[in-house]
Amino acid sequence: MTEIAKPRDDVVKKSARKPLQAAIIGAGMAGILAAIKLRQRDIDCVVFEKGDSVGGTWRENTYPGLTCDVSAHWYTYSFARNPEWDSLMASGQAIRTYFERVANEFGIVPLIRFNDEVVKLHYTDGGWDLLTASGHQQHFDIVIVATGVLHHPNIPHFERIETFRGSVFHSARWDHQVELDGKRIGVIGTGSTAAQLTSALVPRASRYHLFQRTAQWVLPRENTPYTEKDKARFRSDPGALEQLVSELRSKTMKGYATAVIDANSPELAEIERICRESLEGVRDPDLRRKLTPSYRAACKRLVISDSFYGAIQHPNAALVTSPIQRIEPEGVRTADGVLHELDVLVLATGFKVDRFIRPAQVTGRGGIDLDDVWADGPKAYLSISVPGFPNFFFLNGPNSPVGNFSLVEVAQHQIEYILKLVDGIRFGEYAEVNATEASMQRFEQERCEAARKTVWVTGCDSWYLDKNGVPASWTFSYDRFVDETRAPQMSDFEVKTSCSQADALIAAPQ
């Protein structure tokens, strides 16, 4: 087992430690990270996982062709690089194996309660009462929510879908018992998942139908393989591997990260040029027209693929743009009256990305319900803390940076910020801490104002937008995110002291 390096107390603070119990919700990428970092501080923690293994979205999604569209070497913990990736972008199975290995090497697996979903959290007596679906009850000083967003399948209503005689399932609930070779396969959706499925399934199907509601911009990127010589160099020279990570990160940050927050940027113009040039490779003018979006590139999450356009042009593939009218026993009937006969129907229709900790019931100070606080959409100060919910923190929470870059790095910045707040509890400076309502409102006002410049509000409907049409993500520069998460500005938090005047809430000193 890898030994966990523990921070020197004199680096944090010389003071008596307060024993803490922490609950971590989720055993995916962020939950594993939180457990490792808490153990480094000798904080006892229990990880609650609704599934039967670690991996999060990489456990849930197992469909053919699954690949992360972020560079594999960048999509790793900074303290656990992996020199063994086979290619620039790794397969879903390879990523799941990586997280399983890290969880085992750092001794996290024994801390996890598998198949035990958290159903209720209630703040009382300076901590959180937790209840799971199995009836397990426990009290914790702090809670870290690491549930992510890509795990509640979004399944639109399709009339008479229950009458379909073939096999039907969501892409995140793949039925590996279903035979695919030589079958008539239909996929509903045109996002990243559908594009990967198209590349993987067209060669296997006797006939393939892709049901498109909205065309997507596709950014070509070759999935360059790493040779054994490359891997040997990365193993023997960690500095070379870090240099590669730095180069991959810099390329994305100087391009995509800048482009999405400024719709008038030259970086976005260059992305659009590359996407249009790639689209010109579609030979059939009618098919090319159908595949051409009516909105700007990166308004929706970019599809990264150098094989999708080739696959959809295959003789046995068909792009269907007439709206779906209903599902029938033999297949899908579209509004133009055509019945598309199928043996297998896959719903690549995405996820409900506004769930986070929900459907668990969460009540904070004074019985305030998180559902009520989030009635107009999930929000959190710096994506981490919600007013009225003390000692309750999010990793990759509401309004976090999202897109075609590393959420592992995002989570690492956030956990270091959270741990600085936890240290205040651990060393007795305060018993409770959460963002003030004023800081939350200021952050939201600034975030919504910044959204006006982003490409996400230039005329498309995407899962980036909340029900009011405002991007539900980080709308500032990524550099600002890094700066904001270096250390808490304690004037933006309210704390409850542990002295005899403990009932008084005060704004924390700067």
Report the CATH number at residue 398.
Answer: 3.50.50.60
Looking at the domain assignment, is residue 9 inside a domain? no
State the Cα–Cα distance between residues 122 and 450, nearest whole angstrom: 34
Domain count, the chain: 2
| pLDDT tier at 505, thresholds 50, 70, 90 | very low
Query: Do both 90 and 212 map to the same domain?
Result: no
Q: How far apart are CA 186 and CA 210, in angstroms?
A: 6
Asked if the structure places residue 147 within a domain, the reply is: yes
Per the structure block, which two tokens stand in for 272? Answer: 């659009």
Q: Is 12 among the domain residues?
A: no
Domain termination site, one of 319, 347, 375: 347
pLDDT tens digit sequence for 351-389 = 988 889 999 999 999 999 999 999 999 999 999 999 999
- The verdict on 168 and 146 lying in the same domain is no
For the ranges 11-20, 313-322, 447-456, the lowest mean pLDDT is seen at: 11-20
Among candidate residues 347, 369, 400, the one where a domain is terminated: 347
Residue ranges of the alpha helices (H) in 172-284? 192-201, 228-236, 238-252, 258-261, 266-279
Give per-residue pLDDT as tens, 408-424. 999 999 999 999 999 99
Where is the domain boundary, 298, 332, 347?
A: 347
Which residues are CB-neighbours of 493 under 8 A, at least 6 positions away? 385, 421, 433, 434, 435, 436, 439, 507, 508
Which of helix, strand or coil describes residue 391?
A: coil
Q: Is residue 194 part of a domain?
A: yes
Residues 6+ apart with CB under 8 A from 265: 258, 259
Domain extent, residue 384, equals: 17-152+352-507
Share of the chain above pLDDT 90, in %: 86
Backbone phi, psi, residue 195, to 5°: -65, -40
Write the single-letter amino acid at 230.
D
Q: Looking at the domain assignment, is residue 421 inside a domain?
A: yes
pLDDT per position as a tens digit, 133-169 = 999 999 999 999 999 888 889 999 999 999 999 999 9
> What distance in Å separates the CA atoms of residue 496 and residue 479, rounded to the nearest whole number?
32
Same-domain status, 96 and 168 = no
* 8 is a domain residue: no
